[in-house]
A and B are shown apart, each in its own frame.
Chain A
Amino acid sequence: MMLPMRRVLYCTLLLGFLYPSQSVRLVAQTSKSANVSYEKDVRPIFKTHCFQCHGESNVIEGGLDLRLNRFIQKGGENGPATIAGDHKNSLVWQRVSSGEMPPEDSHLSPQEIRIIEQWIQLGAKNLNTEPESLDNNTYFTQAELDFWAFQPIKKPTLPTINDSTLARSPIDYFILQRLQDANLSPATAADKTTLLRRLTYDLLGLPPTLQQMKRFLANNSPDAYEQLVDELLISPRYGERWGRHWLDVAGYADSEGYTDKDIKREWAYYYRDYVVNAFNQNKPYDQFLVEQLAGDELIQSPLSDLQPADVTLLQATGFLRMAPDGTGQAGVEQMVARNQMIADTINIMTTSILGLTVGCAQCHDHRYDPISQKDYYELRAILAPALDWKKWQVPSTRRISLYTDEDRQQKTEIESRAVIATAKRQKQVDQHLDRTLTEELIRVPDQVRDALRAAYKTKSDQRTDKQKALLEEYPAIGKIPSGSLYLYSRKRAARAVELTKIVDAREQEILEQARDKFLNNLPQEQRTILTAAQQTKPEQRTLEQNALLKEAPVMLADYATLAQFNPTAAATIKANRQIIEICRTTNSTEQLETMQKQVDAIRAEIPKEHFIRALTEPVDHAPDTVLFIRGNHDTPGDKVNPSELDIFAQFIATNIPLKGVAQQTTNRRLTYAQHLTNGKHPLTARVFVNSVWKHHFGRGIVNSSGDFGVLGQMPTHPELLDYLASEFMDNDWDIKQLHRLIVTSSTYRQISQRTETLDEVDPDNKLLARQSIRRLESEAFRDAVLAVSGLLNNKMHGPGIPVMEDGVGQIVLGIEKLDGERINKATGNLGGEEHRRSVYIEVRRTRPLAVLATFDIATNAPNCTKRASSNVAPQSLLIMNSDFMVEYSQAFAGHIIKQSNDSLEDQIQLAWKTTYAELPSTENLQALLTFMDTQIKQFKTEDADLDDQVAHRKAFEVLCQALLGSNQFLYID
């Protein structure tokens, strides 16, 4: 019950948030047109604010249905809602203008009320004939259906432009035409160094190396730039860069999220590696999508013995497993968590591939786009056989093992050895427990010893009250448990000394008892003589005394001879001493630990079992899908069949199968994926080319890259978008070719400088009369710092580099080793892993790496179609003072000094070139030389003994930090 309420709230908040732009649009529309119609002007207002209670999902409050003009005229319980030409007497106007409707806080804006007023005044008309009935179908008006994004893609012809010499690529025709219309000229081409830096960061997310720079600047051939593009596109760094862009929209995470426990997702990285490889292999985008949506429906080999190609296909399905998933966590409401995971998966799928906020139709018809609630559940039905909320598998049970049959056999054999070793250890534990009991019993008075032993050995539920009381009085015995053996072993030396004292005393006592017993049987006189003899020091005894004592050996009895006089007591004492000796000499904690290590060592031989976090569908499984009224799974509505959204189905017939052939999966997802990529879908190609464009220009042709719907932004160049989409599909969805097309254009190669004119006409650079200055994304910034410092480790793939909380709670790289008190004993040494690219760092939802988080990372609740690019003081503080900057600046300085001769000028030149991919100007050079001079002097002032070389090095490190922290490094022209 809770979840759907949250949904409603969320959507309401979202709508409230977006509301102003909507009313602006409406005003603009009405001012243009004197014909105010129901469909175009009034219905969007009613749909947003009123349908929920007046028409939708069979809720018709007051008998008033606002979904058709006809219904409005008929009105509800209080009569007709409109009186054409008389808004003041029209009920609907009265209710909204008084603020009575909509109820509660969400009133209509004055503009909206004015539109309704105008509409009624002009006759309260509708444009088209209205449908006869709304009973079974959701009704969308022609205006809604005509929205640009839902129209088929048509490849436009190139526009004519005045000066075709300015154009290098078809793209430029579309851009130049708009510029021409606006009386603007394109900017000049950027110089080679600017282009080199821009292109390398765009394609690889890294700065150009000195070698790349040298090669490119020396290459005077006319296609030197095109050669560079090709060179960069074959670098494995390309897949890491562009893979990360895709991971943003896929909502990649190495943790489950959903609750604050945010448990780790151990095997998610197989999906990340799939994505990186797909981009590097230039996997066609259609294939890329089909594999991610339905890879499991394409595999040939059995899940228990997978072939490598099929492993790849299953890796791809990780896409449908990226949403936050609380279903494996204790204490969550399972049904809520499952449905939330499904809803988030639908959100990820539709925002990333379709660029539509389909998720808004979960609880009610989409307020703006022609997507009905029924549509939503029909789409959900496509996923239902694999994501069946009534027959759910939690993450740990649904993962797919990569074990082979041979691995399994090996495991069984090793495990049987481990069991034997474990039993051996348990036997040892039992012995130690027994011994500890005996030790403790030594300490207690004789009279309670046996009773205590018996009490301890009695099962706790069978103990008498007396026994219980006894054990309470001697808690050290009562509480001997196997888990706390270490407590008794901790101070074993002192313990042995203490126990020995007790035993010594007891022995002495027994000896005295034996003597007393002997003496008591003698006459008083003899007693005295014998006692005197015994108490005389041996060397001072008379012969007579010795003879007497020889006759009475008990008088000289000691530990060695005690057994002759009291064998029982002697045996007990001997046994006690042996136990004390074991206590003193045996470190039971260590011994048991060693034995545990032996067990662990045996188990370590078991080949590590890897798993894929995949999505698979059971065969012959086609559960019913029903619509959830108000999105609430507790209130099921009508059954729906799997289907594409109606808005697209009108152009392309799709037939999503209900059931598959026997012993197979349903093929619902495969059919849907093939439908999305058959070349006729209006959005698949548009959305993807737009996102590629966005990463090359800083804004998309559709700037709201995750929302191509009514609330999104209109494309700045609709024909160009269609041209790119068509071209992309004509080239078999070749992504690298798409990059080539874009980056070789004149448009891309322009300088980024703003001008007064452009700032007046087009401050946001929508028309692209120049390139845009862009800040490095967080990953690019961190990777670039690693690269210039010479430490970047290009190792690819595998488990994420672990993140942990350091001593102050900051998230850093390192392997967390929390002790029982949650104090982290980590060393932080990752053996070079810490210098790997950011795409390989664990993405824990609640543990974003500090340096990345500071410079904005992808949100993953559930995914991110557009990143923030913030500009805040903590970023400056990080640049000034963080360990990250200081450490890498030191490495950078060392790297430069190692590569250059002793000339400071050379060092500065090299550092500048490495950082900015250009040579410093004379002023730059002079400024840095002056800085070095001042800073070295300062260091020497502070420490007169400072070695020249050390002072130089320290100053140079600071210089390097300034370079890395400068805006020129952080921004691409």
Chain B
Amino acid sequence: MHSKSTPDNTSTESNTTRRNFLSRVSLSTIPLALAFANEQPLSAKPVKPDLGPRNFDLAAKNSHQSGTATAMISMFMQGGPSQVDLMDPKPLLNKMHLQKFPEKIKYDNAAEASSRIFGTPWKFKQYGKSGTAISELLPGLSEIVDDVLVIRSMHTGVNNHGQSIHAMNSGRIQEGRPALGSWVTYALGSETRELPAYVAMTDPKGLPVLGVLNWSNGWLPSLYQGTVIRPVEPRILNLNPPAALRGKTQDNFLSLLRQLNGQHHQRRNRELELDARRTNLELATRMQSAAAAALDISKETKATHEMYGINNPVTEEFGKRCLIARRLVERGVRFVQLFTKNQYWDHHGSIQTRLPASCQKIDIPAAALVKDLKQRGMLDSTVVHWGGEMGRLPVIQNDSETKNFGRDHNTYGFSMWVAGGGFKQGGTYGVTDEFGHRAIENIVNHYDYHATLFHLFGLDAETVTYKQNGREQSLLDGQAGKIIPDLLT
């Protein structure tokens, strides 16, 4: 698969000159945050005994077939948004509110478990031409329903956060496998030399459950690890200058460094290695400004700022991240994943105040991203994903006072939405039972979603493989993932 690279679209500039040692780097030496397309290792030393010498790089590659998608932005709603309160209306719950739930149920928190049904406190209405029913909590989503497909029958079947995140984001419930973004960049490389191929954007309030495993390359070469754009300065480690060295002060620093290296070189002017190192300093400087430019949203129009809710303190933070995500994809970044803070959607209690708060922060910016991509003609080639690792139960958790009511975990039937890149526009797919508890029709397992997603990128999720522990491993890893035609345009 690596052999299908298109060599000419990345090899410009100085590293194709006589100094081939510029590109001499072993894979294990590429530190996090610095995996760029221009670092093309000549010979990768195997980390495991069975790898043999293989070459890996981030040069853009053609996919197996022509795909519709070339990039992806995933908004990962960690914690598990409540499907029955947001995008999977179940009138029966309201009819049977507070009555005993008639079926078997699996709880996460026994101490607060209850078998009484909890009808949704919010109103649903149908929107758009497609008439998709959306909760009043998501006014943003209701405006873009005709561009998105709501999948109501997601299923991972493991009732805790960690395992279900692994399933959704790295294909299997086990730890240690490469994240979705790693697979996509491994298969397709990157369209940019000056920005990381795969970016993870974290919330200022902290990391999601599983921390850095969310963007781990697993056993793929470290080149394919997600680079974190941090919510605070320096936003990209080693790629953004430290606090004392911004702008002019860093210019002064760099010119001093150039001067020192220049003087040093005068007496050693035949050392090509020193030449190369000076060239690398300039390349590094360019990378730094490319990153700074991508992160600088000040030149975006007022209308754009408003659309993403950047003028509103509630939506400002997530709005900025969504806007930056668009700017990254615009510049050739292959895969961007935005994470909400630790357990942001894990509403075990007080769901009636906490769920609206979560929605208020996320909904408008998320919808703006889709609108913005669409108006720029980027939506057709950019997959947008919004969803978490689970949904929630139809029964009450914390059955004391009404205001304390929450909902416990549910991975047997939950909802998420996708848009762009070849996903079907408008409508819903899949059905849960009349309580919104279990997916019963057109079930979409995590591996079905992944097979379909890879298909949109022109990839086959079973044949994009990497040899590990003596066997060719894939994202699906033998699970019977199927491409679901009804999800496609």
Contacts of B113 in A (CB 8 A): 475-476, 479
How far, in whole Å, are A958 and B278 apart by their CA atoms in the complex?
19
Report the Cα distance A961→B256, complex, angstroms.
10
Q: A754-B271, A931-B252, A966-B257 are in contact. Are A873 and B110 (CB under 8 A)?
A: no
Which residues in B have their C-beta under 8 angstroms from that of A756? Answer: 270
A366 and B216 alpha carbons, distance in the complex (Å): 39
**What distance in Å separates the Cβ of A671 from its nearest Cβ neighbour in chain B?**
29
Residue from the set A2, A17, A954, A966 with the largest chain B CB neighbour count within 10 Å: A966
Determine if B107 and A935 form an interchain contact, defined as CB atoms under 8 angstroms apart.
Answer: no
Q: Is B311 an interface residue (CB 8 A)?
A: no
User: Does residue B7 face the partner (Cβ distance < 8 Å to A)?
Assistant: no
A939 interface contact, C-beta 8 A: yes
A883 contacts the other chain (Cβ, under 8 Å)?
Answer: yes
Find the B residue at minimum CB distance from A344: B49
Q: Which residues of B contact A461 (CB under 8 A)?
A: none
Least CB distance from A503 to B in Å reads: 15
Contact with B along A930-973 (1 / 0, CB 8 A): 01001100110110000000000010011101110111101101
B50 interface residue per 8 A CB criterion? yes
What is the CA–CA distance of A344 and B176 in the complex, to the nearest angstrom?
Answer: 24
A858-869 to B contact mask, C-beta < 8 Å, 1/0: 010110000010
Verify A859–B176 contact, CB threshold 8 A: no
A480, B39: Cα distance in complex, Å: 56
- A431 at the A/B interface (Cβ < 8 Å)? no
A52 at the interface (CB under 8 A from B): no
Residue of A nearest to B248 (CB): A938
Is A260 a contact partner of B176 (Cβ separation < 8 A)? yes
**B 105-131 binary contact with A (CB < 8 Å = 1; else 0):** 101011111110000000000000000
Complex Cα gap A754–B271 (Å): 7
Residues of B within 8 A of A970 (CB): 277
List chain B residues, Cβ under 8 A from A821. 161-162, 209-211, 342-343
B470 within 8 A of A: yes
Determine whether the beta carbon of B50 is less than 8 Å from that of A968.
no
The residues of A that contact B26 with a CB separation of less than 8 Å are 856, 859, 868, 870
Stretch at the interface among A7-15, A394-402, A634-642: A7-15
Mark out the residues of chain A between 816 and 868 whose CB falls within 8 Å of any chain B CB in the assembled complex.
818, 821-824, 845-846, 848, 850, 853-857, 859, 861-862, 868
Report the separation of the CA atoms of residues A968 and B250 in the bound assembly, to the nearest whole angstrom. 20
**Cβ contact within 8 Å between B259 and A759:** no
**Is B284's CB within 8 Å of the partner chain A?**
yes
B107 pairs with A962, CB closer than 8 A: no
B50 neighbours in A (Cβ, 8 Å): 3, 6, 10
User: Given A475-B115, A853-B31, A872–B39 Cβ distance below 8 Å?
Assistant: yes
- A residues less than 8 Å from B95 (CB atoms): none
Query: Which B residues, 374 to 395, have Cβ-Cβ distances below 8 Å to chain A?
Result: none
Return the CB mask of B212-233 against A: 1 if under 8 Å, else 0: 1101101100000110101000
B260–A845 CB distance below 8 A: no
Q: Indicate whether A861 sits within 8 Å of B46 (C-beta atoms), given known contacts A773-B268, A808-B237, A809-B215.
A: yes
Decide if A872 touches B49 in the complex (CB within 8 Å).
no
Q: Of A259, A332, A475, which contacts B107 at CB under 8 A? A: A475
- Give CA–CA (A257, B400) in the complex, Å: 51
Q: Which residue of B lies closest to A881 (CB)?
A: B238
Taking the closest CB of chain B, its distance from the CB of A333, in whole angstroms, is 8
B45 touches A878 (CB 8 A): no
B475 interface residue per 8 A CB criterion: no
Q: How far is the CA of A938 from the CA of B254 in the complex (A)?
A: 14
For B264, the chain A residues whose CB sits under 8 A away are: 966-968, 971
Contact B219 A859 (CB under 8 A): no
Decide if B46 touches A17 in the complex (CB within 8 Å): no
Our pick among A261, A474, A818, A853 for the contact of B115 (Cβ within 8 Å) is A474
The 8 Å CB contact of A857, one of B29, B49, B210, B260, is B29
Give chain B residues whose Cβ lies under 8 Å from the Cβ of A494.
Answer: 400
Neighbouring B residues of A484 by C-beta, 8 Å? 110-111
Contact across chains for B238 and A923 when beta carbons are under 8 A apart: no
**With an 8 A cutoff between CB atoms, is B53 at the interface?**
yes
Known: A336-B470, A822-B211. A853 touches B53 (CB 8 A): no
Residue from A14, A856, A966 in contact with B29 in the complex, judged by beta carbons closer than 8 Å:
A856
User: Once bound together, how far apart are the Cα atoms of A875 and B112, in whole Å?
Assistant: 53
Interface stretch (choices B17-25, B68-76, B317-325, B365-373): B17-25
Interface set, chain B 242-287, CB cutoff 8 A to A: 242, 244-245, 248-250, 252-254, 256-257, 259-261, 263-265, 267-268, 270-271, 273-274, 276-278, 280-281, 283-285, 287
A843 to chain B, nearest CB (A): 12
Is B139 in contact with chain A by the CB < 8 A criterion? Answer: no
CB pair A871–B24 under 8 Å, yes or no, is yes
Q: Would A967 and B25 be within 8 Å (CB), given that A344-B49, A473-B115, A753-B268 are in contact?
A: no
Select one of A2, A876, A958 contacting B252, CB under 8 A: A958
Instruction: Report the interface size class on chain A.
Output: 35 or more
Instruction: Write out the residue numbers on chain A whose beta carbons fall within 8 Å of the beta carbon of B244.
Output: 886, 954, 957-958
Chain B interface size range: 35 or more
Q: Give the residues in chain A near B253, CB-CB below 8 Å.
A: 880, 935, 958, 961-962
Query: Whose C-beta in chain A lies nearest to the C-beta of B111?
Result: A487
Q: CB distance B49 to A861 under 8 Å?
A: yes
Least Cβ–Cβ distance between A971 and chain B, in angstroms: 7
Choose among B39, B100, B271, B468 the residue that contacts A260 (Cβ–Cβ < 8 A): B468
The residue that A938 contacts in the complex, of B39, B249, B268, B273, with Cβ under 8 A, is: B249
Contacts A10-B50, A808-B33; A487 near B109 (Cβ below 8 A): yes
B488 at the interface (CB under 8 A from A): no
Say how far A672's CB is from chain B's closest CB, in angstroms: 24
Given A753-B267, A924-B263: A854 in contact with B29 (beta carbons within 8 A):
yes
A871 touching B256 by the CB < 8 A rule? no
Taken together as a complex, chains A and B put the C-alpha atoms of A478 and B161 apart, in Å, by 23
A935–B246 CA distance with the chains assembled, in angstroms: 12
> B166 CB to closest chain A CB, in angstroms?
11
Question: Please, which residue of chain B has its CB at the minimum distance from the CB of A474?
Answer: B115
What is the minimal beta-carbon distance from B17 to any residue of chain A, in angstroms? Answer: 13
CB-CB nearest in chain B for A935: B252
Task: Let me know if B299 is at the binding interface, CB within 8 A.
Answer: no
Question: Out of B32, B277, B288, B468, which one reaches A809, CB within 8 Å?
Answer: B32
Q: In the assembled complex, how far is the CB of residue A864 from the closest CB belonging to chain B, in whole angstroms? A: 8
**Chain A neighbourhood of B45, CB < 8 A:** 859, 861, 868
Cβ–Cβ < 8 Å partners of A881 in chain B = 234, 237-242, 245, 288
Q: Contacts A259-B469, A823-B342, A850-B31 given: A873-B252 contact, CB under 8 Å?
A: no
Known: A260-B219, A810-B33, A938-B252. A476 touches B21 (CB 8 A): no
Nearest 9 A/B pairs, CB to CB: A479-B110, A487-B111, A876-B284, A475-B113, A809-B212, A754-B270, A808-B228, A874-B34, A870-B25
Q: Which residues of A contact B (CB under 8 A)?
A: 2-3, 6, 9-10, 13-14, 17, 257-261, 324, 332, 336, 340, 344, 472-476, 478-481, 484, 487-488, 490, 494, 498, 752-756, 759, 773, 775, 805, 807-811, 818, 821-824, 845-846, 848, 850, 853-857, 859, 861-862, 868, 870-883, 886, 923-924, 927-928, 931, 934-935, 938-939, 941-942, 954, 957-959, 961-963, 965-968, 970-971, 973
Given A848-B29, A874-B238, A958-B252, 6 additional A-B pairs, CB 8 A = A2-B470, A474-B115, A805-B212, A861-B46, A870-B29, A873-B280
**Using a CB–CB distance below 8 Å, which chain B residues touch chain A?**
21-26, 28-34, 36, 38-39, 43, 45-54, 100, 104-105, 107, 109-115, 161-162, 176, 202, 206-207, 209-213, 215-216, 218-219, 225-226, 228, 230, 234, 237-242, 244-245, 248-250, 252-254, 256-257, 259-261, 263-265, 267-268, 270-271, 273-274, 276-278, 280-281, 283-285, 287-288, 342-343, 400, 468-471
List 13 A-B residue pairs with CB atoms under 8 Å apart, sorted by A's residue number. A14-B53, A324-B48, A475-B110, A753-B270, A809-B32, A862-B49, A873-B283, A874-B39, A879-B281, A881-B241, A966-B257, A966-B260, A966-B261
